[in-house]
Amino acid sequence: MMKEVKLSTALKEEDIRDLRIGDVVYINGIICTSRDMGHLKMIDVTEKKEKLPIDFQGGVIFHAGPVVKKQGEKYEVIVIGPTTSIRMEPYSDFIGGLGVKAIIGKGGMEEGTSEALKKYGMVYLQAPPGCAVVLGEKVEQIENVFWLELGVPEALWVLKVENFGPLVVGMDSEGNSIYRDIRIKGKKLIEKMF
Amino acid sequence: MREVNAKQIKEKVKELFLDANFHIGEDVLNSIKEALLKETSETGKNVLNMILKNYKVAANEVLAICQDTGLAILFIKLGQEVHINGNWEEAINEGVKEAYVEGYLRKSAVTDPVFDRKNTKTNCPAIIYTEIVPGDKIEFLVTPKGFGSENMSRLAMMKPADGPEGIINFIVETVKIAGPNPCPPTIIGVCVGGTMDQASITAKKATLRKVGEHNPDPRYADMERQTLEKINNLGIGPAGLGGNTTSLWVNIDYKPTHIAGMPVAVNICCHAARHASGII
Amino acid sequence: MEKIKKITTPLSNEVVQDLKAGDNVSISGYIYTGRDAAHKRLIDLLKEGKKLPIEIEGQIIYYVGPAPTPPGYKCGSAGPTTSYRMDPYTPALLDLGLKGMIGKGLRSKEVIESMKKNGAIYFAAIGGVAAMIAKGIKSSEVVAYEDLGPEAIHKYYVEDFPVIVCIDAKGNNLYETEPPKYIK
């Protein structure tokens, strides 16, 4: 039975392990954006045994690069939407090791990520793609930004969000994956057709 | 403002396509001679010798180096101070048409690629890429591109995480899959970045870069070296009949691209890398 | 210099069985040309049960679309085209007695099986050696499908056309056996 769940950060493992594919989630609290270069930077910093700018325990990583506007000293989000998550597939185990409990993105991820979700008690949440205005409205404010030298889209944006969603559980910590199910079904159809 | 007549354009295009089809570049010639010294396969050496002899025969007897005299492609830098008297596209196509008649070159262009495939009998339409640049000259770089090699070319929309290793593997795999079909030893032109279309066009241009010259950026030059070594370790050899010389050179160019992407276009050119350049 | 086997067309079964992958061969005699469009028309005729415009039994087909003939020559530049495009049409022609094909590049499993079954040879001509090959063509006439231009079926008289036996009638395939020797 699919359920609707509201979660607040820092996310607890038992809450995440309770989620199943198809559930709808809304998040209150802090989420951080990170894409291709951001993930590589996190790995680089960790390998050099330096400190990451924030503590990711119970945290949320959102595969996105916002459009922002600078007002004086502060930044404001104009719109924000998910980017294609599969590009970040190589980094899932690393992210789990940092204590991240939820990954938000679009398009799903693959078996490496599914294993990491099981291992660390994480969940993959699909954000509505192409709905950057609506999602942008759920961002209350930008708490902080790091690594702007990577460019605005690739920097680490720390966002305070309220009722951020609707986010659909695409892959859960039991190893289920809507994306895998569709791929298998699709493959069978293709084999039948040809 | 400098006036250039359509007739001058036609004559220059004709001259260049004739030149390209009969005379191979010094850089390619020298590269094959060098390869001959390093080739260990007897059949391979035989093939390389035949290729060298063919270039001589073609030049001396004014016969097309290869019967696949290709589709006519032009990269043109048009000075913004130039005013053209006449029809630009028509002049270029007339030049191609005349070259292909006077040079006894094969007309290989067909209309609608799926249904009729009727030969246009003129080897037109030419494929024209024009860049507007400062100045009052018109610079032409033309190449008749045969399709044995063109058919083996590939494009991948890779992701940033794939990195240099992913790119090199894709290029090597493209050459491996092609095997003997593109008439090895080949010259490989690659572009990383841009968009799907820009990468493809830039890769084609990269096949025309001087054989033996690396990308000035040392990181890309290193990728070129690594890729060439891996390709020649495949053992495909001249004409695909086994040997150390599968490719003569790898040229990798790059273009700025989107944060989410890394398009990689690999254009294969056969050993008869025919091109000619000139200025009006 | 390796010995060159001289053969003449039409090819007999004995000659075909005697040739081995790797042999350097010099072909003299009449050969036919044909590529994509001509092959399709031949197969269409076969499907309709009609007679073909050329004899097939014992013959060699050269996959080529030559350049136009300059004055003083019998044929324009005439190097081989890539053979795999003719694969779908080949087994039917081999069944009719075609004994040789000259081209370049890989052939499909189906073609090789048909070559073994029917006894035929696939010769490789070197791609891009087109001007030299043109000089060895002593006469040329269009015998079918003139409307196809360079894709028409020509009958060439060739003298000492240099080729390599690439796949023999036992299925030995140079493209498979040679490159692995040079892998590093």
Burial B58-68 (b: 16+ CB within 10 A, else e): beebebbbbbb
Task: Report the share of chain C in percent with pLDDT over 70.
Answer: 99
CA distance B244 to C182: 6
Q: Which residue of chain B comes nearest to C22, CA vs CA? A: B43
Structural domains of chain B, with CATH? 2-20+65-145 (3.30.360), 148-271 (3.30.1330)
Which DSSP category does C173 fall into? B
280 residues of chain B, pLDDT tens digit each: 999 999 999 999 999 999 999 999 999 999 999 999 999 998 899 899 999 999 999 999 999 999 999 999 999 999 999 999 999 999 999 999 999 999 999 999 999 999 988 889 999 999 999 999 999 999 999 999 999 999 999 999 999 989 999 999 999 999 999 999 999 999 999 999 999 999 999 999 999 999 999 999 999 999 999 999 999 999 999 999 999 999 999 999 999 999 999 999 999 999 999 999 999 9
- Output the CA–CA distances (angstroms, integers) from residue B17 to A190, B69, B73, B126, in the order listed: 47, 10, 10, 11
On chain C, the residues whose CB falls within 8 A of the CB of B233 are: 183-184
Domain presence at residue C5: no
Asked whether the CA dihedral B116, B119, B123, B125 is positive or negative, the reply is negative
Task: For residue range C57-93, list pLDDT tens digits in order.
Answer: 999 999 998 899 999 999 999 999 989 999 999 999 9
Per-residue pLDDT at C150: 79
pLDDT of C1 > 50? The answer is no
Contact B117 C179 (CB under 8 A): no
Task: For residue range A45-82, list pLDDT tens digits in order.
Answer: 999 999 999 999 999 999 999 999 998 889 999 999 99
Domain presence at residue C177: no
Per-residue pLDDT at C118: 96
Task: For residue range A74-117, list pLDDT tens digits in order.
Answer: 999 999 999 999 999 999 999 999 999 999 999 999 999 999 99
Phi, psi of C13 (to 5 degrees): -60, -35
Task: For residue range C111-120, list pLDDT tens digits in order.
Answer: 999 999 999 9
β-strand pairing of C153-167 with C137-144: antiparallel
Read off the tokens for C125. 């001509």
Task: For residue range C88-116, list pLDDT tens digits in order.
Answer: 999 999 999 999 999 999 999 999 999 99
Average pLDDT over residues A15-28: 96
CA distance B223 to B165: 9
pLDDT of C14 > 90? The answer is yes
Distance from CA of A87 to the nearest CA of B (A): 6
Q: Taking the mean position of all CA atoms in its chain, how far away is CA C25?
A: 13
Answer whether B186's CB lies under 8 Å from B223's CB.
no
- The count of domains in chain C is 1
* pLDDT band with cut points at 50, 70 and 90 for residue C127: confident
On chain A, the residues whose CB falls within 8 A of the CB of B256 are: none
Q: Which residue of chain B comes nearest to C37, CA vs CA? A: B117
- Output the CA–CA distances (angstroms, integers) from residue C86 to A165, B99, C3, C20, C57, in the order listed: 57, 30, 31, 23, 18
Domain of residue C148, CATH code: 3.20.130.10
Per-residue pLDDT at C2: 61
Burial of A55 (0-12, 13-18, 19+ CB in 10 A): exposed
Q: Which amino acid, one-letter code, is at C68?
A: P
Q: Which amino acid, one-letter code, is at B46?
A: N
Q: What average pLDDT does chain B have?
A: 96
A98 or C1, higher pLDDT:
A98
Domain presence at residue C93: yes
Question: How many CB pairs (< 8 A) connect A and B?
Answer: 25
Domain presence at residue C21: yes
What is the pTM (predicted TM-score) of this model?
0.88
Q: Going by beta carbons, is chain C in contact with chain B, meaning 3 or more pairs sit under 8 Å apart?
A: yes
Beta bridge partners of C162: C26
Q: Taking the mean position of all CA atoms in its chain, how far away is CA B261?
A: 25
Domain presence at residue C2: no
Whose tokens are 């010995």? That residue is C3
On chain B, the residues whose CB falls within 8 A of the CB of A83 are: 260
* Cross-chain CB nearest to C130 (options B64, B232, B240): B64
Residue C114's domain comprises 10-170
Answer whether B227's CB lies under 8 Å from B126's CB.
no
Structural domains of chain A, with CATH? 4-193 (3.20.130.10)
Per-residue pLDDT at C154: 95
Domain presence at residue C150: yes
